[in-house]
A and B are shown apart, each in its own frame.
Chain A
């Protein structure tokens, strides 16, 4: 299906599932994964799961792990390429010490995230992959090393609610070339393509189906030309083939082994065949090439009745829903009949090109995927959780502030700096989420503000120990010197730096600065847009008083002497006075 067709179909499914209980999925990522949301929704809504997929904030995995922990399912794309900006081209220039310290930092961040998510029912955590940026390197290098160490750590600390997703398999299926589009990566941090996400959604679907009690449970074979080559009634006991000694027989032997494997994993096997029952019984008990024997088969309907009735009886006998059945059949007539009468049953038709048969069956084996959850498992999980929790008391980050502190955040402040006019204007044009008034300004506007005496333009550059984020924050304040009143015209921060409490350090600086200018009061305003819900209570948090509330607009005031500096002592602040 084309991407636009998926979106269209998803919109329709959303309407038809309205009112049904929602299954909330949050995707946390350090790249932009927005395209996955609707593809995954479609993939699950098609299976009658009213999935609602949302993205966390860009590159805020540790911060958001606490915020969104109430989701039914959390999916984590922690991309190796972006664990720090540009890792994939920086890693091999790093010293061993730098690599070790980075690995330690990320491990601690992972611990923190999984600890926050310990009560989330299910987490799909993509394993780190070095494939995309490293597949032509013959020698193992730092990228491989970091990848391997982080994956080893994941394997050790993952609680039973975490399923590690081997994303390399999805990349392989899609091909490396078709998995990424660097045009979007460089412009918007959109790493993966729609092709990749289609495959990713299909890959993880069985897990989510299982979590929603929609696992297939029974695999039912018609016998002739599904379990063996040939028609028992015509070719006879000695004429049917299912041995690796003939090329066609080999395919059926493999199919039988697949069924046996499924049975060992807890899947139920059944027969539904138009044949003489005693003939089929004889094959099952006596044929030397049979792999599936009586002890593996839970239910048999070998008779001359129609298959729809037989399948209904099987479901009744096993006391399970028809939607738990997978039926393998070769005849188009029977396939169409069952599909028409019992659309809940998954019907697989043996392909005409016989060599595709076992592949088709293998593809559908994932439908039987079960998240193992015995009582024993649950108990172990509880113990494990308690133990991990104790350990975490001593672990590196106990809370978000610990984590933020470890980043060595620093902001450099500029007041009325004319050299930043283009970037400042661009920030007002592009910033939507952390933007209190969403006023768009031209370069001319900004230049005027900077040069005028009635406005102050505050901007900051942010960096942490891994690199700089550039000029990413802005506050424009209008001054009324006669009344000693300041008014915040614009306050915004790029999404690259949100979730780090930088706004507190920024505001502490601004208030201090206004104090020195002799201001007594600050007025401010929040204007609601379709994107800026996340800052609707920012001024409350900064200690402002709400004085007026109209539709979509909140007005605030604060006496400067009442301002209590917000805790942000882990953020270094430098005031750059030159312009």
Chain B
């Protein structure tokens, strides 16, 4: 699943999969701005068949947080 998350990030943020690690965040990636963030969330929701809450969307600002939020969501179901 980590790979899947990374793949989605790769295609939305136009970066190489090897560039994504635990520290990757909105701060560190130039192409990751507030508009692209929405694209990223939309793509992740579609990929994993889940819906994030407004609060989650605002907080998922790094690879780590995205991954953890998705894990939580999938466990709930």
Binding site for B on A (CB under 8 A): 2-5, 7-8, 11, 32, 34-35, 183-184, 186-188, 190, 193-194, 430, 432, 530-531
Contact = CB atoms under 8 A, between A and B. Distances in A.
Nearest to B44: A4
Contacts of B57: 183, 187
A317 to B, nearest CB: 44
A190 B37 CA distance: 12
Nearest to B41: A184
A34 B38 contact: yes
Contacts, number: 51
A37 to B, nearest CB: 10
23 contacts: A2-B47, A3-B39, A3-B46, A4-B7, A4-B43, A4-B47, A5-B11, A7-B11, A7-B43, A11-B11, A11-B14, A34-B38, A34-B39, A35-B39, A183-B54, A186-B54, A187-B54, A187-B58, A188-B34, A194-B42, A430-B34, A432-B33, A530-B30
Contacts of B7: 4, 8
Contacts of B60: none
Interface string B30-56: 100111001100110011000000100
B35 A4 contact: no
Given A11-B14, A34-B39, A183-B57, A4 B34 contact: no
Nearest 7 A/B pairs, CB to CB: A8-B11, A4-B43, A7-B11, A4-B8, A3-B43, A4-B11, A34-B35
Contacts of A3: 39, 42-43, 46
Interface of B: 7-8, 10-12, 14, 30, 33-35, 38-39, 42-43, 46-47, 54, 57-58
B11 A188 contact: no
Contacts of A11: 11, 14
A32 B12 contact: no
B12 A4 contact: yes
Given A187-B54, A187-B57, A4 B38 contact: no
Contacts of B8: 4
A2 B49 CA distance: 11
Contact of B43 (A2, A190, A530): A2
B12 A2 contact: no
A6 to B, nearest CB: 8
Q: Is the interface of A mostly helix, strand, loop or mixed?
A: helix
Contacts of B38: 34-35, 184, 188, 190
Given A34-B39, A188-B34, A530-B30, A4 B54 contact: no
A290 B56 CA distance: 62
A518 B70 CA distance: 58
A530 B10 CA distance: 19
A8 B22 CA distance: 22
Given A2-B43, A3-B42, A190-B38, A531 B54 contact: no
Nearest to B12: A7
A530 B7 CA distance: 24
A7 to B, nearest CB: 4
Nearest to A531: B33
Contacts of A193: 42
Contacts of B30: 530
Contacts of A430: 34
Report which residue of A4, A11, A34, A184 has the largest number of chain B beta carbons within 10 angstroms of its beta carbon.
A4
Nearest to A183: B54
Contacts of A194: 42, 46
Nearest to A55: B35
Contacts of A35: 38-39, 42
Contacts of A183: 54, 57
Given A34-B38, A183-B54, A2 B46 contact: yes
A173 B35 CA distance: 26
A190 B12 CA distance: 17
A194 B43 CA distance: 9
B60 to A, nearest CB: 13
B47 to A, nearest CB: 6
Contacts of A4: 7-8, 11-12, 43, 46-47
A5 B42 CA distance: 12
A99 to B, nearest CB: 33
Contacts of A188: 34-35, 38
A530 B13 CA distance: 14
A184 B14 CA distance: 22
Given A4-B7, A4-B8, A34-B39, 6 more contacts: A4-B11, A4-B46, A184-B38, A187-B58, A430-B34, A432-B33
A528 to B, nearest CB: 13
A30 to B, nearest CB: 16
A463 to B, nearest CB: 24
Nearest to B35: A34
Contacts of A186: 54
A327 B43 CA distance: 36
Nearest to A529: B30
Contacts of B33: 432, 531
B12 to A, nearest CB: 6
Report which residue of B11, B30, B33, B54 has the largest number of chain A beta carbons within 10 angstroms of its beta carbon.
B11
A530 B42 CA distance: 23
A411 B58 CA distance: 30
A32 B34 CA distance: 12
A194 B42 CA distance: 8
A194 B10 CA distance: 18
